[in-house]
């Protein structure tokens, strides 16, 4: 006899579902308590009325409930218990949007132009200075008078055009165009660099004026007086030359395939548009935030982003666990202190901090090579212990060699920046270097080239060798890869970035103290890399930004009695949750994602810090 059909779903909550839901709910409650309004333990009723029973706390609890329900539902869908057919409609939305954008109809183009203009005005409005009514008509339309608004408009239209170009098929015939000439591409790159410089110039007033464009003058209102003008113009020239030589580079490719050609021609343009947008936001938005957040972002988050990107080369690219990374940070700082005359021992000559940076890079790289050559034959926990000891040696020497480093008393003022070139006379010293906005743009000028260099390095032969060593060192050796050579190279390159961060930090803070280079700094940077996503430059940057921001936020907006001594307790909790729910990090690289999937399937390890999955060969 056939059993009657069930009216209820054929699933129910098990212990794992309840644990997952309870974890999400507890996380929402923890965020509510940590970031909620301040209470008073001496007056419990006041605390209940104004702190616990508040829209802030209730909102986070609702968020925890919604997140828990979604996680449980998603788990059932992955297990095949539930059928999420409604997701097909959501997945079709990007396809429909791309089809609408790529349509050549006049009506669609007009609609897209209007939407892009409104979006650019809203972005410019909400990233601009504080206003009482951001959505007022006068406030939104008034953004058309601001120079940076045209940068947002250009970037959005650029992104829309890349979608249209991507929709073209390879066999689609294209009539010869004036814009296909190489000289037009190079000239267009230069003009685009100049346009970007006008829209993103940090020192020009936000309201547009033709009086900016004059060749003589030395005030902040003179566009051609700023070094950033020439920097962005040079970047535009490089992009134009690359676009002019792109067809020739594709013709020389060993492997010709439709996918590869489309990937090079179109995706590179998309990446440039996204990079330009991110860079434009990074330049523009900090001018309009409060001085408190300027200090927090520029002094702490900026330096730690630089440190995290360097350590990502060692941990993320090469798969080496380095717990003494702060030692290179200290070497860079004390190198700047020595050559600026801030230490008890005086150099034969004092030099500008700009010229100290190459020396600090050399010192840090030599230290990385000296440390790496005898120790990188180790792996896993043994390597971590050795690097930990190296970091402690540098810290103890900095504390005890008072006749060299001034010990715990701190050094004198360390260095200043200046630049004297034709048409460019720029100095950053004294009170000027204490200005957070000036220091931020100086820091940005170092971070951007480093990011592009590391991204190119990761996709080169060296980066592929690091990935091979990280995934399976024995297999890499069997292919002829000199593992010791590439490991030492990773240590040296990562150390160089830490040396640059040490110089910049010491120049900003003035005095150098050994306590700034304790073991906790290395642990903090390791947490940033793991949380953001090992091997992912974008993930590491966003991870450093988020954790740096949340720690500063807790100091002034915490419901509980938070203090700096509790910082590593919260970092430990973040690290535990990351390892449980997302061990690959928040935004992992595609290569690391494949390695984690292979490790889960028993096809290999996710890095070279653990034993081979399956026990290896027998």
- Give pLDDT, residue 197: 82
Residue 213's pLDDT is 75
Predicted pLDDT at 93: 77
Rounded Cα gap, residues 183 and 185, in angstroms: 5
Q: Which residues of the chain have pLDDT under 70?
A: 1-11, 33-56, 84, 86-87, 104, 130, 168-179, 215-220, 247-270, 291-299, 415, 418-436, 556-563, 595-618
Supply the pLDDT for residue 232: 81
Neighbours of 222 (CB within 10 A): 18
Alpha carbon distance 518, 515 (integer Å): 5
What is the number of alpha carbons within 13 Å of residue 322 lying toward its C-beta? 36
Fold topology of 291-611: ABC transporter involved in vitamin B12 uptake, BtuC (1.10.3470)
Continuous H helices in 201-325: 227-244, 246-251, 258-262, 268-284, 291-295, 302-312
Over 378-419, what HEC string results? CCCHHHHHHHHHHHHHHHHHHHHCHHHHCHHHCCCCCCCEEE
Residue 345 makes CB contacts below 8 A (sequence gap 6+) with: 338, 403, 404
Maximum distance among all Cα pairs of the chain, rounded to whole angstroms = 100
Helices 436-458 and 537-557 meet at what angle, rounded to 10? 150
Parse the chain into domains and list their residue ranges: 15-84, 104-169+177-288, 291-611
CA distance 334 to 513: 10
Query: Cβ(295)–Cβ(436) under 8 Å?
Result: yes
For the chain, give me the number of helices (H) and strands (E)? 27, 2
């Amino acid at each position: 006899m056939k059993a009657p059909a069930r009216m209820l779903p054929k699933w129910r909550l098990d212990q794992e579902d309840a644990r997952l839901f309870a974890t999400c709910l507890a996380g929402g409650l923890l965020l509510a308590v940590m970031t909620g309004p301040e209470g008073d333990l001496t007056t419990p009723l006041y605390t209940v009325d104004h702190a616990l029973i508040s829209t802030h706390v209730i909102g986070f609890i609702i968020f925890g409930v919604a997140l828990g329900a979604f996680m449980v539902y998603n788990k059932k869908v992955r297990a095949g218990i539930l059928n999420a057919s409604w997701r097909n409609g959501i997945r079709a939305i990007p396809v429909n949007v791309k089809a609408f954008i790529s349509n050549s109809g006049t009506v669609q183009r007009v609609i897209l132009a209007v939407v892009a203009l409104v979006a650019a005005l809203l972005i410019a409005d909400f990233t601009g200075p504080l206003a009482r009514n951001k959505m007022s008509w006068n406030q939104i339309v008034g953004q058309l008078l601001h120079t940076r608004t045209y940068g947002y408009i250009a970037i959005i239209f650029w992104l829309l055009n890349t979608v249209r170009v991507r929709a073209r098929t390879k066999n689609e015939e294209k009539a010869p165009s004036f814009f296909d000439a190489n000289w037009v591409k190079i000239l267009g790159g230069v003009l685009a660099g100049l346009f970007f410089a006008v829209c993103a110039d940090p020192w020009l007033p936000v309201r547009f004026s033709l009086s900016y464009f004059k060749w003589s003058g030395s005030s902040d209102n003179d566009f051609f007086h700023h070094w950033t003008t020439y920097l962005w113009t040079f970047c535009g020239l490089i992009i134009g030359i690359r676009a002019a030589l792109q067809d020739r580079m594709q013709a020389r490719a060993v492997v010709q395939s439709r996918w590869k050609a489309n990937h090079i021609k179109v995706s590179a343009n998309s990446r440039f548009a996204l990079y330009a947008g991110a860079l434009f936001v990074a330049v523009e938005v900090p001018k309009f935030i409060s001085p408190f957040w300027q200090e927090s972002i520029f002094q702490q988050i900026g330096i730690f982003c630089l440190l995290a990107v360097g350590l990502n080369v060692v941990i993320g690219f090469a798969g080496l666990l380095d717990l003494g990374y702060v030692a290179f940070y200290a070497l860079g700082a004390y190198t700047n202190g020595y050559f600026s005359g801030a230490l008890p021992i005086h150099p034969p000559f004092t030099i500008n901090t700009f010229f100290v940076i190459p020396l600090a890079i050399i010192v840090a790289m030599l230290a990385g090579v000296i440390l790496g050559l005898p120790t990188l034959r180790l792996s896993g926990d043994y390597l971590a212990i050795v690097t930990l000891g190296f970091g402690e040696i540098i810290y103890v020497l900095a504390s005890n060699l008072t006749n060299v480093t001034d010990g715990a008393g701190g050094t004198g003022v360390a260095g200043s920046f200046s630049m004297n070139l034709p048409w460019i006379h720029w100095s950053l010293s004294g009170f000027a270097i204490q200005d957070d906005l000036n220091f931020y743009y100086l820091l940005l000028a170092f971070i951007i080239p480093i990011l592009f260099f590391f991204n190119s390095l990761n996709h080169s032969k060296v980066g592929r060798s690091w990935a091979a060593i990280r995934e399976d060192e024995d297999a890499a050796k069997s292919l002829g890869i000199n593992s010791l050579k590439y490991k030492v190279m990773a240590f040296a390159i990562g150390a160089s970035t830490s040396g640059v961060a040490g110089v910049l930090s010491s120049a900003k803070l003035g005095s150098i103290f050994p306590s700034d280079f304790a073991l906790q700094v290395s642990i903090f940077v390791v947490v940033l890399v793991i949380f953001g996503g090992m091997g992912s430059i974008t993930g590491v940057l966003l991870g450093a930004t988020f954790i740096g921001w949340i720690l500063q936020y807790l100091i002034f907006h915490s419901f509980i009695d938070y203090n700096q001594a509790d910082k590593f307790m919260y970092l430990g909790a973040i690290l535990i949750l990351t390892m449980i729910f997302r061990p690959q990090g928040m935004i992992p690289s595609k290569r690391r994602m494949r390695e984690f999937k292979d490790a889960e399937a028993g096809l290999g390890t996710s890095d070279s810090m653990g034993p081979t999955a399956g026990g290896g060969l027998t």
